[in-house]
Structure 1
Amino acid sequence: MAYTEEDVLRTLPGVRPVLEQVAHKWTILILTFLCEEPKRFNALKRRLDGITQKALTDALRRLERNGLVRRTVTTSSPIAVEYAVTPLGRTLQEPFLALYDWAVEHEEDLSAAREAFDRHRE
């Protein structure tokens, strides 16, 4: 679907927070890992090398608030918290894979552009 500039400006206040959430640093990776299968917090943290506990907690809360992730607490011993992608969150899988495919396809072009930019700035 093609959007006019007016369409974008009219809908921006409503969609901007969601677009910012989806474009957040860790969101794509979190949702990609959760699309494989539900995961406990610590398993997800181990999978996301470099993410802090606070950053993961904040990201998961934002995703849950937007209906993209479901949080389930199990009262077994020990108590565990598991996160799963919701049906709404799963609808992002195809656009994420398309973005990933684009990045793989253009990886050399992007690298060459960064190198040219850096050379020009020196």
Structure 2
Amino acid sequence: MISRTEITIISDNKKQSAELICNDENISITLKQKQQKEKTYKGSDFYKCFGKLRSDNKHIQFLCKGSKINVHPSSMSSQMSLGLNAYELSLGKEPSLDNLVFIFDYEDKDLTNEPIVQREFYYKWLTNEQP
């Protein structure tokens, strides 16, 4: 199944819209922008595809939850939603369903195009969450 999601980006210092085309048969995201060539990114889930997409487009700021430093899927959320849902984590706190977010929902704070920064936060969260 193919789904299309419109997101807000900042490119050339201007807020614009872009379309993400998600294909759940081959787990891929295609970035579609005005006057730009489309490019497809594959991965084991959509969160990982989106990470590859952001890493490859450092000149674009993607204004969505999946770009937020403290957003990371759990194994279960990755399997259940193919990575479209992830947890917005807080250091020292266990997440609840209230912290589950759709990775393409709008967000404009604490963003990164570097998946390694998100992984580093996740590992920091893991080590701080001792009972």
TM-score per shorter chain, which class? under 0.3
From the CA coordinates, give the structure whose radius of gyration is larger: 1
Q: Which has the higher strand share?
A: 2
Q: TM-score, normalised by structure 2?
A: 0.21
Q: Which has the higher helix share?
A: 1
